[in-house]
Amino acid sequence: MRPDLRGVRVAVVGGDARELILAKHLAQLGAQVLVMGLPVDNCGVVYCSGNEELHDVDAVILPVPGITEHGVIYSAFPEQPPIAAEQVLSRLPSGIPVFVGVARSLLKEIASRRGLRLIEVLNLDEVAILNSIPSAEGAIQMAMEHLPITIHGSRALVLGFGRTGMTLARMLKALNAHVSVAARRPAHLARIEEMGMCPLTYEELPQAVEGVDVIFNTVPALILTGKLLERISPSTLIIDLASAPGGTDFVGARRRGIKAILAPGLPGKVAPQTAGQILARVIPRLLAQEVAR
């Protein structure tokens, strides 16, 4: 059912192509949408130039990456004036929901000080699972660009079997790669075997990494340590999808001559339209629920 957002006043502040799609969709659902830091055409959305217009909004949507380490709200549009998060959040009524993809500690601190309800949408399964599709496609695209061989027939190792690792492993298998997946839960190891791939425990990695063509890391912890890298051939490509700083000892990899790439934010880079549609599918319903509270 389409959520009815008539009477809801929501500000979309900063972002990229994804938030443009979302802002237009919110307007189509009847919300009164104010935008800052995004270029808008006449699509039912009102451009908001000053913070004072934010004092009576029901909710705020910040960009997927949230804010920079300097407290500026992320915007992919350099012609838009920079917007300080503190300046915007200080204008908001206390207790209102603030949606963001992932929140840095600085944003969490500001939100908590201002009494705002921070909702990190990339942590929600329904978003993370759908986002895993462009993430996996983007990771495989990178592997195709950097490897001298096809994915078909390659020996691929996926570290982690969560929302991203599972999708990635399945796509690699569908492309006829020889796929091994490292996981720590026995149920996951059983599922990996059921899917026709080679299950590995982390203790087995030192032997398993030898002779692998490409390693995709999805574990947000240091897994590819300097010690493990010593077992990896310099011809192996590492694509690290885990959130910064990733799960690879990048200095150690460089020292060993191994190409290791940290690949953040793939959905927004490789498929911004799909990524925007995912937000447009999920956020209006969450917004309606939050406003009804």
User: Measured over all CA atoms, what is the biggest interatomic distance in the chain, rounded to whole angstroms?
Assistant: 61
The CA distance from 233 to 165, in Å, is 22
Reduced to 3 states (helix: H, G, I; strand: E, B; else coil), residue 157 is strand
Q: Is the peptide bond before 245 cis (omega within 30 degrees of 0)?
A: yes
| The two structure tokens encoding residue 52 | 């004072």
Are the C-beta atoms of residues 88 and 36 closer than 8 Å to each other?
A: yes
Nearest distance from C-beta of residue 129 to ligand NAP, angstroms? 8
E strand or H helix that includes residue 159: strand 155-159
Shorter beta-carbon distance to ligand NAP: residue 27 or 266: 266
Site for ligand NAP in 39-98 (CB under 6 A): none
- Write the binding mask 241 to 260 for ligand NAP: x where contact by CB under 6 A, - elsewhere: xxx-----------------
Shorter beta-carbon distance to ligand NAP: residue 117 or 163: 163
Shorter beta-carbon distance to ligand NAP: residue 3 or 267: 267
The CA distance from 62 to 85, in Å, is 9
- Segment lying near ligand NAP (by CB under 6 A), choices 62-70, 145-153, 171-179, 263-271: 263-271
The CA distance from 187 to 258, in Å, is 32
Judged by CB under 6 A, does residue 183 bind ligand NAP? yes
Instruction: Report the amino acid identity of residue 157.
Output: L
First to last CA, the chain: 19
Nearest distance from C-beta of residue 241 to ligand NAP, angstroms? 4
- Segment lying near ligand NAP (by CB under 6 A), choices 21-29, 47-55, 65-73, 177-185: 177-185
The CA distance from 116 to 100, in Å, is 12
- Write the binding mask 189 to 218 for ligand NAP: x where contact by CB under 6 A, - elsewhere: -----------------------------x
- Write the binding mask 123 to 142 for ligand NAP: x where contact by CB under 6 A, - elsewhere: -----x--x---x-------
Q: Cβ of 97: how many Cβ atoms within 10 Å?
A: 20
Nearest distance from C-beta of residue 128 to ligand NAP, angstroms? 4
Q: Which residue ranges make up the site for ligand NAP (CB under 6 A)?
A: 128, 131, 135, 160-165, 183-185, 218-221, 241-243, 263-267
